[in-house]
Amino acid sequence: MSFAAIIFDFDGVIADSEVRANLSLSESLTAAGMPTTYEESLRDYYGHNWQETQRRIEARFGRLLPPDFRETHRTRARARFMDGFDAVPGVADFLGALGATPRAIASSSRAEYIDWALGLFGLRHHFADHIYSADGWDRGKPHPDIYLAAAKGLGVDPAACLAIEDSPTGARAAIAAGMTVVGFCGAGHIVDRAGHGETLRGVGVHHVAPTYEALHAFALHRA
């Protein structure tokens, strides 16, 4: 194993959640009088923490979100996430193959949601206390802060870490932290894996993996 630690994004890397999340957000915005399609939500808000997402929404529409929007949206999203929500195919086997390799999650999502989802998937034990959330931070992804915090929490040099990211925003954050970055294209929101892989290569990722099987070969069997 040539990496000192592996740091995972969460949504779209561990949780197959981006379709649900962006359908819910587009519906919530439309209901609030801010018409938004699923495609627009994925294009404009994917990979950002809530603080940056809110800034982007309000800039786009030229007005503030309703004061109760986040809680109303969370209720809508929760209902959608209760039906058939699951992990990305292959992630359980990949985590099981890591042995004692240190690992962490560096995510834009709420820590409470990450903890709940990991419990639902039966993956909570893989991460101990190393779940790092940029929710509530003024500087979320694409700034490197959350990845640097995860590396510091693990006690490893960021340059010795492998980061796994599915979004251009998150990939930029991990690259800025000085990590080796795999662009992962195995979740359900990525319809055109080849095209998305090229987008991630354009951001500067070091490798693209269409599945966890391909990622396994890169991460665990490097010379």
pLDDT tens, residue by residue, 128-171: 999 999 999 999 999 999 999 999 999 999 999 999 999 999 99
pLDDT of residue 143: 97
Q: Which residues of the chain have pLDDT under 70?
A: 1, 221-223
Residue 5 and residue 103 in contact, taking contact as beta carbons nearer than 8 Å: yes
pLDDT of residue 74: 92
The pTM (predicted TM-score) of the whole model is: 0.91
Domain 18-81 part of CATH 1.10.3720.10: no
Residue 9 among the catalytic residues: yes
Residue type, 160: A
How remote is the C-alpha of 158 from its chain's centroid? 18
Residue 44 among the catalytic residues: no
pLDDT of residue 223: 35
Return the domain boundaries, the chain: 5-17+85-220, 18-81
Residue type, 183: G
Tokens of 156: 């490893």
Which residue is catalytic, options 11, 16, 145, 166?
11
Residue 154 and residue 130 in contact, taking contact as beta carbons nearer than 8 Å: yes
Strand segments, DSSP code E, in the chain are 5-8, 103-107, 131-133, 161-165, 180-184, 207-209
Given the structure tokens 């890591």, which residue do they identify? 98
Tokens of 25: 């957000």
Domain 5-17+85-220 part of CATH 3.40.50.2000: no
| pLDDT, tens digit (0-9, with 9 covering 90-100), for 92-111 | 999 999 999 999 999 999 99
Edge-first strand order for the sheet with 131-133 is 131-133, 103-107, 5-8, 161-165, 180-184, 207-209
Which residue is catalytic, options 9, 16, 145, 166?
9
Q: Where are the alpha helices (DSSP H) in 32-164?
A: 38-45, 50-61, 69-81, 91-96, 111-121, 145-154
